[in-house]
Amino acid sequence: MVLKRTLIIGGGEGAHYVFHTLTSRATSEYQIIGLLDDCSDVKLNKIPRFGGLNQLKEVVRTEDIECVLLAIPSLEHTKRKQILDTCISLQIETQVLPILQDIFAGKEKIAMRPVAYQDIIERDEFELDYQKVARMVNSKTILVTGAGGSIGSEITRQIMRGNPRKLILLGHGEASIYNIHRELKKAHPDVELVPCIADIQNKERLTAVFETHRPDIVYHAAAHKHVPLMEENSSEAIANNAQGTWNLAEVANKFNVDKFVMISTDKAVKPTTVMGASKRVAEKIVQLFNQMSQTHFCVVRFGNVLGSRGSVVPLFHDQICNGEPVTLTHPDMERYFMTIPEASKLVIQASMLTVGGEIFVLDMGEPIKILDVIHKLIDLTGQKRETVSIEFIGIRKGEKVQEELFENHEEKPVLIFDKIFVGEDNPHPAELVDIQLLLDNYMGFTEQERKEQLFRLVELDWRYEKI
C-alpha cells in the first residue's frame, strides 16, 4: 500500500495524540513527513519541524504533501480559518481534531475527522457573556421546546452554563429527549433537569406541564422545518408550526411566563412555501399575544444553520464522501449560513434584550453561493472538482434562489447589539380573528383550500394598516 505523505499542523498534546494513534496502527495509510508549529522548540518523536503555520503552502509544495492533519483543537478561529482556506486553495485532503468546546461538550470524540461543513463557515462566531446569562437564569425555571433538536439541544447546553434553577426539556421524540437529558445530567449533575415528553399540539398536556413547573422563560424551538415535506403535508405544518405556537403562547400567557422567545426562519419572509408561510403565521401569533399580555413575547429569525436537521449541506457532504453525484437545484442558489452554536448563543442574547414584540434578525453576514460550499467541501476531501459530478435538478416548487431576512413593510432594521438587528412590525389585532378561524377549520379544507387560506393570512401584512 502506498502511504500518503502527511503533514501534521501542531506540536502540542493534540499532535502527539494524532502521531501516536496513527503510527500505532498496522494498517495506517499515512506517512508522517513533518510538522508545522509556531513554537520553534516543539518535538514530536523524530519528526522534523519545517517551520511555522504561515509556511503551510510552501511546505506542501516542496515536500509533496498529500494530506494535512490539523491537530490544534485550541487554535483561534481566525487562524483555523486561514489554514483551512489555504488547504482549499491547494485542493488537498484535510482532516481536523475537533475544537475543544465540542470535545468538552461531548459532541465530538478526540479523534481526527474529515473537514466538514461546520469548518468552512466564513465568519467569526459570536460569544456570549455567560455572567449575564447566569444573572438572567440563575434562579429561574427555563423551558425549551424541541429540546432534542439541533437548535433546541444547543440552547439547553448554552443555558446550562448559566446554572439555571431548573431546566425543562420538552419534546415529542422520546429518543432525542432521552439523549440530551443524559448528556446534560452527566455534565451538570447539580441542576434539576426535567425530561418532558409532550406534543405542543396538545394544549391540555402543555397546561399540565406549565402548572406543575411554572417556567419563567420559554425558548420555543419546536417546529416542522423540512420545506419539501411540508409542501406535501400542509395540515401538519399548520398544526405544529401555527397551532402549536398558539397553544404555547396561550398557556405562557395564562401562567404569567416572563419571557417567550420563538425561533423563526428567513423562509418566513415573503414566504413562497407552506413551511415558510406557517412560520410567518407563527411570528404573527407571537407578536399579537405580546399586544395583550404581560409576558414579553419576541421572535428571533435567522437563515440556514450548518448541520441542523433539515439542512441540505450535510446531504452534500455525504454525497461527496460516498462518491455520489451532488444534487443542487440551481447553480445561482444562495443562502445565509451560521453554525448551530452561534445561532443558539444569539437566540439567548436576544432573550436578554427583549422588551416585547420584537422580531430580532441575526446578522448572517453575506449570502453564500451553495455551489461555492460544494466546491470547498470537495477540495477539503482531497478530491478534484472535475471528478465529482454535480447535477442541477431544477428549482422546487416555491423555492427561492435568494432568501431575504426582512419584510418590505418592516421598519428599517437597526443593529441593537453585536450581530443582532431588530425590525419593527406590529400586526393588526384583527389578524388574530383570521388566524383563529384558520386554526379552527383547516382540517375541514381540501389541500388546495388549506394552502389558499394559509397564504391569505400571510398577505394580511398588506391588507391591514400597521398599528
Let me know if residue 93 belongs to a domain. yes
The single residue of 166, 259, 267, 376 carrying the catalytic annotation is 267
3-state secondary structure of 42: coil
Quick one: pLDDT band at residue 460, thresholds 50, 70, 90? low
Same domain (yes/no): 135, 159? yes
267 included as an active-site residue: yes
Q: How many domains does the chain have?
A: 2
Same domain (yes/no): 368, 294? yes
Question: pLDDT at position 351, please?
Answer: 94
- Read off the C-alpha cell for 202: 396538545
Please write the tens of the pLDDT for every residue from 37-65: 998 888 888 889 999 999 999 999 999 99
Let me know if residue 458 belongs to a domain. no
Of 115, 143, 173, the position where a domain reaches its end is: 115
pLDDT reading at 167 higher than 90: yes
Quick one: pLDDT band at residue 111, thresholds 50, 70, 90? low
Same domain (yes/no): 251, 340? yes
Let me know if residue 323 belongs to a domain. yes
Of 115, 141, 157, the position where a domain reaches its end is: 115
Residue listed under C-alpha cell 519528526: 47
* CATH code for the domain of 31: 3.40.50.720
Let me know if residue 435 belongs to a domain. no
Let me know if residue 120 belongs to a domain. no
Let me know if residue 179 belongs to a domain. yes
Q: Which domain holds residue 292?
A: 130-423
Same domain (yes/no): 144, 88? no
Let me know if residue 442 belongs to a domain. no
Quick one: pLDDT band at residue 176, thresholds 50, 70, 90? very high
Q: How far apart are CA 245 and CA 133, in angstroms?
A: 25
- Read off the C-alpha cell for 183: 448528556
Same domain (yes/no): 276, 167? yes
Which residues does 43 contact at the CB level (< 8 Å), separation at least 6? 11
Same domain (yes/no): 88, 181? no
Helices (H), 322-446: 340-353, 370-380, 430-441
Q: How far is CA 460 from CA 264, 292, 311, 463, in A?
A: 19, 20, 29, 5
Let me know if residue 219 belongs to a domain. yes
CB 103 within 8 A of CB 42: no
- Residues in a beta bridge with 362: 420
- Read off the C-alpha cell for 237: 405544518
Same domain (yes/no): 169, 108? no
Of 115, 143, 176, the position where a domain reaches its end is: 115
Q: Flag the least confident range among 4-8, 97-101, 234-238, 383-387.
A: 97-101
Same domain (yes/no): 349, 213? yes
Same domain (yes/no): 21, 148? no
Please write the tens of the pLDDT for every residue from 243-268: 999 999 999 999 999 999 999 988 89
